[in-house]
Amino acid sequence: MIESAKWIAIVAVVALGFGGCATITNTPKQQVSLVASNGEKVVVTINEEKVTLPTTMKIPRKPTDVYVYAEDNPGYQYSHTSTFVIGGIKESPVVFLDILGVLAAVFPGLTSIIVDQATGSAWEYSNKELVVPVYKAAK
């Protein structure tokens, strides 16, 4: 019985070491509001999903492309941006725990940094309202 409890404890510690601190405390997505720069209703494509602005939705914390297609928006021209550009992205405050993980045990700490970066959990949007630049088509 004690041997199996030891193995369970070891597996739990290793699993936590391989999961990043920010991945455990943050979700890979963050809820933000998206609005068009001119305040009008515009259809954008985010992660292959079409949404009409303004809207509130959960978007990945890692770089995500935002497209404005002319065919979806008569009178507008095509444009493209990234949520990192318009979101004021910054490192999540819990990422410092990864650094402590590196000091405590090098391999799990480095692994948790990689996991947090890959999932996007290491980041957060400082702006909760993202303004998507849109441009009227020339006549």
Q: What pTM was computed for the model?
A: 0.66
Residuewise pLDDT in 10s, the chain (139 residues): 567 777 776 766 555 555 455 555 567 788 999 999 999 999 999 989 999 999 999 998 878 899 999 999 999 999 999 887 787 665 555 555 555 554 545 555 556 666 665 665 667 777 788 899 999 998 7
Nearest by Cα to 90 from 120, 47, 59: 120
Total residue length of the chain? 139
Instruction: Please list, in sequence order, all residues whose beta carbon lies within 8 angstroms of the beta carbon of residue 2, skipping any fewer than 6 positions away.
Output: none
Q: What is residue 40's predicted lDDT score, i.e. its pLDDT?
A: 96
Nearest by Cα to 68 from 23, 133, 115, 114: 133
| Beta strands per DSSP E along 1-139 | 29-36, 42-46, 49-53, 55-60, 65-68, 79-82, 89-91, 123-125, 129-132
DSSP 56-80: EEEEESS--EEEE-GGGSTTB--EE
Cα–Cα distance, 102 to 21 (Å, whole number): 12
